[in-house]
Homo-oligomer: A and B are copies of this chain.
């Protein structure tokens, strides 16, 4: 492992900035102070800002193949279109994970939570390929294999009609066996790859699947990840399915973080748009983390998650890009910007609004907290692992010089990531990812695709009339 010292770099210090040297020894932050001795390689930090790496705390990497082309649909119909054209080639999984990693890194992220869509029949291979891609790039990876045990149509409320659904093609037990095998083969947190249990959500999972995931999570000390109440349709569905809110039900079956056994804050919940005040109290009580995906929530018309309420309730909130088909990018700085300013229209008292410094903390420490690793990551703290990003403050998009964090969060920074390290290993230098050949990636993505206009999804054609009826459109 290469030790290094970043000299004369700007860091955030209470309400101000400080110019310091930062020593990295054996992958950890060894010292932060002005005028330190240079240990290892000297890196010039002049006119640069050093921040802890951000977490892209919810995405689906293979959606990169369908970005730009998905219809302007709400989630339920969008999902039908997505699955009709889902990539089924392992090489696409590999390239999608590489692309997700590269875009995340070049927008300040050093960790990615990939709620990974599995190719039917090639589930473990899909996970293995994603592990390979992330390991090659060197980004810290939290792979959350997306599982369900109900068919897609079950995700839409029945309303007054009697709906029947095809059984899911794979048994709940077989699905849980795949996850357990994935844990055995790939869960290596110390090497930068973790497996999460990740039922897709109440809309497509039975209690048996949730309970199996809880059992695996307890047995192997795994974090838990799920979508939660992304759409109004899911809110309706929860009432049909459980006769109570989804949050009440998830608490009852024990999926939310269990604050009593010492394993705190290990459940991250993507979206959380349609929660009521009692649900919010439950998330606070169980120390669950909300992953806010503002661009996806807007793109799919899901709604505006009540993020200011969550913060006031003391709930940990962090940001995700969500999959590139509902965003349609993996630019984490964009998600952080919109995820900050969007909420100003939901509360007229500006004293409640998210400041740029708060947004940075949500994106870094907030991500680490949700994954139960805040003691190791998420801030520039001596002793923590060196997942760091160095921003070039001489870039036109960060000029003129004002407040660097204000420019970074509220502006539209482009090409501003100069360097990034994960666990002390440099994987971005001079604005380029150094671990893989990005030009070759670009060429592969180009060669394996073609320009096309809107496609017709057969499943959407089958589902749309019922969706419109039950949603009263």
Residues of A within 8 A of B (CB): 10, 15-17, 64-70, 72-74, 77, 99, 102-103, 232, 295, 297-304, 327-329, 331, 334, 338, 341-342, 344-345, 347-351, 353-355, 393-404, 406-408, 410-412, 414-415, 438, 441-442, 445-446, 448-454, 471, 473
Give which listed residue, B16, B341, B351, contacts A453 with CB less than 8 A.
B16
Contact status of A415 and B412, CB under 8 A, knowing A350-B73, A402-B69, A453-B16 = no
**Contact, CB under 8 Å: A345 / B399:** no
User: Which residues of chain B are near A102, meaning CB under 8 Å?
Assistant: 396
- CB A348 to nearest CB in B, in angstroms, measures 6
User: Which residues of chain B are near A404, meaning CB under 8 Å?
Assistant: 68, 451
User: Which residues of chain B are near A442, meaning CB under 8 Å?
Assistant: 394-396, 399
The 4 A-B residue pairs with the shortest CB-CB distance, nearest first, are: A301-B344, A68-B407, A329-B412, A400-B449
**Contact, CB under 8 Å: A67 / B407:** yes
Q: A453 to B13, alpha carbons, bound, how many Å? A: 11
- CB A78 to nearest CB in B, in angstroms, measures 9
**Contact, CB under 8 Å: B10 / A400:** no
User: Which residues of chain B are near A64, meaning CB under 8 Å?
Assistant: 400
Q: A72 to B351, alpha carbons, bound, how many Å? A: 8
Q: Which of A350, A449, A452 has the most CB of B within 10 A?
A: A350
Q: A10 to B450, alpha carbons, bound, how many Å? A: 13
A-B contact pairs, 7 of them (CB 8 A): A68-B407, A69-B403, A299-B410, A301-B350, A395-B442, A403-B454, A415-B415
Q: Which residue of B lies closest to A232 (CB)?
A: B348
Contact status of A451 and B393, CB under 8 A, knowing A303-B345, A328-B411 = yes
Give which listed residue, B10, B15, B67, contacts A451 with CB less than 8 A.
B10
Q: A70 to B400, alpha carbons, bound, how many Å? A: 13
Give which listed residue, B399, B449, B450, B471, contacts A449 with CB less than 8 A.
B399
Q: Which residue of B lies closest to A297 (CB)?
A: B345
Since A67-B400, A414-B415 are in contact, a sample of 12 more A-B pairs with Cβ atoms closer than 8 Å, ordered by chain A residue number, is: A10-B451, A68-B407, A68-B410, A69-B402, A70-B406, A72-B353, A334-B412, A394-B442, A394-B446, A396-B441, A399-B442, A404-B451
User: Which residues of chain B are near A232, meaning CB under 8 Å?
Assistant: 348
Q: Which residue of B lies closest to A321 (CB)?
A: B412
Q: Which residue of B lies closest to A73 (CB)?
A: B350
Contact status of A400 and B65, CB under 8 A, knowing A345-B304, A442-B394, A473-B348 = yes
Q: A16 to B451, alpha carbons, bound, how many Å? A: 10
Contact status of A401 and B449, CB under 8 A, knowing A301-B350, A410-B68, A473-B348 = yes
User: Which residues of chain B are near A408, meaning CB under 8 Å?
Assistant: 68
- CB A67 to nearest CB in B, in angstroms, measures 6
- CB A435 to nearest CB in B, in angstroms, measures 16
- CB A60 to nearest CB in B, in angstroms, measures 15
**Contact, CB under 8 Å: A329 / B72:** no
Give which listed residue, B300, B453, B473, contacts A403 with CB less than 8 A.
B453
User: Which residues of chain B are near A345, meaning CB under 8 Å?
Assistant: 297-298, 301-304
**Contact, CB under 8 Å: A341 / B410:** no
- CB A450 to nearest CB in B, in angstroms, measures 5
Q: Which residue of B lies closest to A329 (CB)?
A: B412
**Contact, CB under 8 Å: A295 / B341:** yes
- CB A62 to nearest CB in B, in angstroms, measures 11
**Contact, CB under 8 Å: A473 / B349:** yes
Q: A72 to B441, alpha carbons, bound, how many Å? A: 40
**Contact, CB under 8 Å: B403 / A445:** no
Contact status of A396 and B302, CB under 8 A, knowing A17-B453, A350-B72 = no
Q: Which residue of B lies closest to A47 (CB)?
A: B446
**Contact, CB under 8 Å: A67 / B402:** yes
Q: Which of A404, A410, A448 has the most CB of B within 10 A?
A: A410
Q: Which of A232, A404, A412 has the most CB of B within 10 A?
A: A412
